[in-house]
Amino acid sequence: MDKLLLCLLVIVNFPGAFFQGNTSGKAFVFPTESDNSYVTLSAPVQKPLKAFTLCLQVYTALTRSYSLFSFATKAQYNEILLFSEKPGLYSVSVGGSDAYFKVPEAFYTPRHFCVTWESQTGITELWVDGKPMVRMSLKKGYTVGSEASIILGQEQDSFGGGFNKNQALVGDIGDVNMWDFVLPPEEIRAVSTNGVSTPNVLNWEELKYETRGEVFLKDQLWV
């Protein structure tokens, strides 16, 4: 075998290596409950954030609490967290403070979420399936730290760890995109129906990720 190819295969198969690729049309599937299955995302550019928009799609039948997106820094484990508390209640955390959003329940349907936050006003928005919940306020004047550990499938209670299987996602997650600014409402509506707005922090079409445990990249069921 060609030495370069062999070398590449070794790198690609090495546990703990980051893959990079276009995951458009795909979803990470967590078929079983565990405290050791997860996906780590790598943001190509790491810088402190004064604002952000985070969007993703989730399909699950869970009725217990679970994490949708866990962004931890060494100083703050709940630096950015999107969490389902129970059916009809979601929390958004920024810098360790929480805002709770009541969301109309929907069973057995994939759901699209966008979270926006800006330091200048503290205004925090949660959009579900392209519809805005009532805006709330979190951490006015705060700056979200860089060098984050970004994890799908588990909730971090320490930097890159502290998982609890009672907070793990069982189901599918995809279309995870993040911007370093607040997307205007019309763009959020467009993103929630697969519209284009190129993300500059996390880009699902150029995703750098690492999987651990029972997690598989499969075709999206919601396309």
Query: Contact residues for ligand NAG (CB under 6 A)?
Result: 22, 24-25, 205-206
**Between 27 and 151, CB nearer to ligand NAG:** 27
Least distance between ligand NAG and beta carbon 48 (Å) = 26
Distance from chain centroid for Cα 12: 24
Q: How far is the CB of 53 from ligand NAG (least distance, A)?
A: 19
Q: Which is nearer to ligand NAG, 157 or 206 (CB)?
A: 206
> Tokens 């508390």 belong to which residue?
85
CB of 161 to ligand NAG, least distance (A): 32
* Residue 20 in tokens: 């990079």
3: helix, strand or coil: helix
On the 0-12 / 13-18 / 19+ scale of CB atoms within 10 A, 23 is: buried
- Distance, in Å, from the CA atom of 164 to the CA atom of 64, rounded to the nearest integer, reads 12
Of 22 and 63, which has the nearer Cβ to ligand NAG?
22
Amino acid identity, position 65: S
Closer residue to ligand NAG, CB minimum distance, 205 or 214: 205
Nearer to ligand NAG, 22 or 32 (CB): 22
Question: What percentage of the chain's residues is helix, strand, coil (to nearest 5)?
Answer: 10, 40, 45
Nearest distance, CB of residue 203 and ligand NAG, angstroms: 7
Residue 188: its H or E element: helix 185-191
Q: How far is the CB of 22 from ligand NAG (least distance, A)?
A: 4
